[in-house]
Amino acid sequence: METQEPQGSAFVLLDDAGRILFSTGEGIPGILSVLDGARGKKMDDAAVANGTGLVLGGFLRNFAAQNRRYDSTILQGRDRDGAERLFRARMFRVENAGPISGAMSLVDITGSSKAAYQLAMLRRVGDLVQGTLELNKILYLILTCVTAGFAIGFNRAFLFLVDPDSKVLQGRMAVGPRSLEEAGRIWNDLSRSAKGLDTFLNDYETGQAPLEQPLKGLVESLSSPLSDDTEIIVRVLQERRPIVVRRASQDPRITEKFRRIYQAEEFAAVPLLARNEPIGVILVDNIFSGHPITDEHVQLLATFATPASLAVQNAAAYERLQRQMVALKETQDRLIHSERLATIGKLAAHISHEIRNPLVTIGGFARLLQRAPEKVDDVKEKARIIVEEVSRLEEMLSTVMDFAKPAAPQLEPAELNTLVEQVARFIEGEMKGRGILLKRELSPDLPLLLIDFAQVKQVFLNLIQNAADATSGEGIIQLKTYRRGARTIAEVTDNGTGIASEDLQKIFEPFFTKRWGGTGLGLAVSRKIMEDHGGRIEVESAVGKGTTMRLVFVHTKAVPMPGIANA
């Protein structure tokens, strides 16, 4: 840290308009001489004169507005040499003293407080950079701290990061003026606005910090391959230690290209190391002020580089992850698009195949009717066959439409047992006609479910029809409901032929079927309906023993309802 300087002080008497009536003091270069010649002027105007940048207006206005008897604050300013100074200002209200209404004391605390202020600011910046994963904001915050007057205070700062893919030390961001004229304007504006690092940090925390990069082209042009150890910034990474260059024009370590582009005669470079891995470099200089770079400056910069490196590494990893996620999403979208095209192709081929036979049958019988319309009995029989084939077509097209454009579920509270019982009664006659016994085992303590009654009913019909097709002779299909933790379960179990293990992963694929005349869409539609309800279909099967299709529903309203007695 820098050594302490002697403290200077000043004492000023003010009237009720803030004009200087009297001033005295010593040891504050530049500022006291301004105050000495400023009697009759407003304190704020006098302090700003000659570039001292000691802005007191806000402090004085707050003091007057709040009618305080005493107030104290710390202010930033510059002496006539442009060096940053730190002052403690104390304001006292004076009563019954004629034209004197207030007294102010100024104490230059630069030497005694700057080191503590710097460390406090660096700790705050360190906390901020550890609290975000936005890489550009982290880089901007780091460089702002490096260039802010009462943090580290360099004129310019450049940040380079290692690109592990291209093996290049890539210039990512730079902060600072582009010219001496621009530097003068910036310092003058900062002096008049009293905008210190605290303000920059507050702007950052509230999302108001600018991210302009006037030196973007310059920092990018300094990028260098990691294999090029002739460049000083690469050497800093390789040696993993700070390097200070005092006279670049005569230093053999500096390449002609670097001298021509960078132009600073004196600069320092500090490596960014995270977990002992080199991830980048910070390059700093005082090209416009000409202030020498001291060992204390480099030590402070190196101290700050440690937490900054960890934050940059974390944010860079997060940025790479984000890019990979975007790439993965794009790949996924392409796959989905390809799958959709493939499904459309399968759908077209399936429809073409399925409607061909009914259309051939309908066309053949229609032509026969046309040839012999007078044979009434014959006409009735052929018309019956045509109607059956048309019904088959309508059923097939309805199934295809359910798959191609499923309707969104209209959710309403419903009793699952009531739904199962309705389905059982509707299909029981058909099952008896096929020699199949339909049994029910319904739990009486099921909660209400939020479901689309018609859609879930269609799922049960699909599953029962599949179970019936898999049984023969004295087949048994059992419908069962029960609770399992936070889920309500319904099962459709048969004692049929079962499903081969190699087919279990295919049964929910569109158009997969081993049943003659089947569309291969029933289970695909059923699974989509269950997914739209936040549930799922599970399957257990053994060849020669039978299959259990299990519907898993999520509880949405745990209100016990009277069940239907077991049948």
How far apart CA 392 and CA 396 sit, in angstroms, is: 6
How far apart CA 67 and CA 527 sit, in angstroms, is: 74
CB-count burial class (<10 Å; 0-12, 13-18, 19+) for 247: exposed
State which residues of the chain have pLDDT below 70.
1-7, 25-40, 42-61, 64, 76-85, 111-132, 148-152, 183-213, 336-358, 360, 376, 392, 395-407, 473, 510-520, 556-567
How far apart CA 339 and CA 327 sit, in angstroms, is: 18
Structural contact between residues 74 and 87, judged by C-beta atoms closer than 8 angstroms = yes
Q: In what order do the strands lie in the sheet with 412-414?
A: 412-414, 447-451, 557-560
Structural contact between residues 273 and 240, judged by C-beta atoms closer than 8 angstroms = yes
* Counts of helices then strands in the chain (DSSP H, E): 15, 19
CA distance readout (Å), 270 to 18, 236, 298: 47, 7, 8
Residue 96 has a pLDDT of 85
Residues 6+ apart with CB under 8 A from 128: 141, 201, 204, 205
Residue 387 has a pLDDT of 78
CA distance readout (Å), 518 to 392, 511, 524, 526: 11, 9, 13, 15
Within a 13 Å sphere around the CA of 200, how many CA atoms are in the beta-carbon half?
Answer: 24
Residue 27 has a pLDDT of 53
pTM of this structure: 0.46
Structural contact between residues 379 and 415, judged by C-beta atoms closer than 8 angstroms = no
Number of Cβ within a 10 Å radius of residue 238? 11
Q: In this predicted model, what pLDDT tens digit does every residue of 430-441 receive, in sequence order?
A: 888 888 899 999
Q: In this predicted model, what pLDDT tens digit does every residue of 355-386 receive, in sequence order?
A: 666 676 777 777 777 777 777 677 777 777 77
Residues 6+ apart with CB under 8 A from 187: 53, 78, 82
Backbone torsions φ then ψ of 92, nearest 5 degrees: -125, 140
Q: Largest Cα–Cα distance in the chain? A: 131
How far apart CA 78 and CA 71 sit, in angstroms, is: 22
Residues linked to residue 170 through DSSP beta bridges, in sequence order: 161
